[in-house]
Amino acid sequence: MSEVDVPEDHPRYESLLTRHRIEDGVAKGITSQQGLIAQGRGEAFDYLLGEETTPSADEAERVAAAHLLLAEHAVLSVNGNVAALCPGELVELADVVGADLEVNLFNRTEERMRAIVEHLEAHGATDVKGLAADARIPGLSHERAKVDADGIYDADVVLVPLEDGDRAEALSAMGKTNVVVDLNPMSRSPQTAAVPVIDNVVRAIPNVTRHARDLADATDDELRDIVDAFDAEAALADAEARIRDGGDGSID
């Protein structure tokens, strides 16, 4: 079944479309089989969150945009799931905030690295990083530590969607500002992030771009005020409350 076979009036159209994109990603050699499992976990949390961007996720997405605009060197990390789900949207965000794109895989194979670079290029990306792998993130095993010296290694702000907890933590330990997009607020990756974005990456990335366009004329002081006002703990607590009882966490 391809994208066109999903009837648009199906009540869970977006969810089915997303699933088919991941299936296509696996068929094209972009997404790993592990990625299918990650997708299933994500769907469950998205269902519990109401399959919409919550007000607190929207706020986190605005803060993410402010961080990306303030960065000396921002890098958007791309894995096999996000490459399949929203390649064009990642290229657009990179353009709007002046960030680099770097392919960074948990299960790294040269074939998959190259397939993802080519896929991003087909969606308009140029100078995609990740193939050089000439630097290492300290504290991780060899394969999982590989990054580009002039990419993630050098970045001050990194956006990592669906990242593994260990690697998210190791990036934070390097002093980088970590923006993690993940639907599970209980996962370690968003818990170690400066900015946890608890939202589906399919909605989160275009919304960060929209906020970045909105903030294009903001001064650095205004951007810093947005960043400073953010409370990561509160964002995680809000998402968890919504999942547990469908509420906003307030006592009634």
Contact residues for ligand ATP (CB under 6 A)? Answer: 37-39, 41-42, 45, 81, 85, 162, 164-165, 181-184, 187-189, 200-202
For residue 32, say whether it is annotated as part of any ligand binding site. no
In the complex with ligand ATP, the residue whose CB is nearer, 70 or 91, is 91
178 among annotated binding-site residues: no
Would you say 172 and 164 are in contact if contact means Cβ atoms under 8 Å apart?
A: no
Which residues lie near Mg ion (CB under 5 A)? Answer: 187, 189
Residue 21 labelled as part of a binding site: no
Q: Which is nearer to Mg ion, 187 or 207 (CB)?
A: 187
Tokens encoding 233: 């703990």
Is 210 annotated as ligand-binding?
Answer: no
Smallest gap, in angstroms, from Cβ of residue 200 to ligand ATP?
4
Smallest distance from the beta carbon of 53 to ligand ATP, in angstroms?
11
Closest CB 34 distance from Mg ion, rounded Å: 12
Which residue lies nearest Mg ion, judged by its C-beta? Answer: 187
Shortest CB 164 distance to Mg ion, Å = 6
Q: Which is nearer to ligand ATP, 70 or 167 (CB)?
A: 167
Task: Write the secondary structure of the chain as one string of H (helix), E (strand) and C (coil).
Answer: CCHHHCCCCCCCHHHHHHHHHHHHHHHCCCCCHHHHHHHHHHHHHHHHCCCCCCHHHHHHHHHHHHHHHHCCCEEEEECHHHHHHCHHHHHHHHHHHCCEEEECCCCCCHHHHHHHHHHHHHCCCCCCECCCCCEECCCCCHHHHEECCCCHHHCCEEEEECCCHHHHHHHHHCCCEEEEECCCCCCHHHHCCCEEECCCHHHHHHHHHHHHHHCCCCCHHHHHHHHHCCCHHHHHHHHHHHHHHCCCCCCC
Shortest separation between residue 149's beta carbon and Mg ion, angstroms: 26
Task: Output the CA–CA distances (angstroms, integers) from residue 122 to 18, 116, 160, 188, in the order listed.
Answer: 19, 10, 21, 33
Measured from the CB of residue 83, what is the shortest distance to ligand ATP in angstroms?
12
Q: Which residue is nearest to ligand ATP (CB)?
A: 42
Q: Which is nearer to ligand ATP, 85 or 152 (CB)?
A: 85
The site partner of 162 among ligand ATP, Mg ion, none (C-beta below 5 to 8 Å per kind) is ligand ATP
Nearer Cβ to ligand ATP (36/218): 36
Nearer to Mg ion, 150 or 240 (CB): 240
184 is in an annotated binding site: yes
Annotated binding site: 19, 41, 182-184, 188-189, 200-201
Annotated binding site for ATP: 19, 41, 182-184, 188-189, 200-201
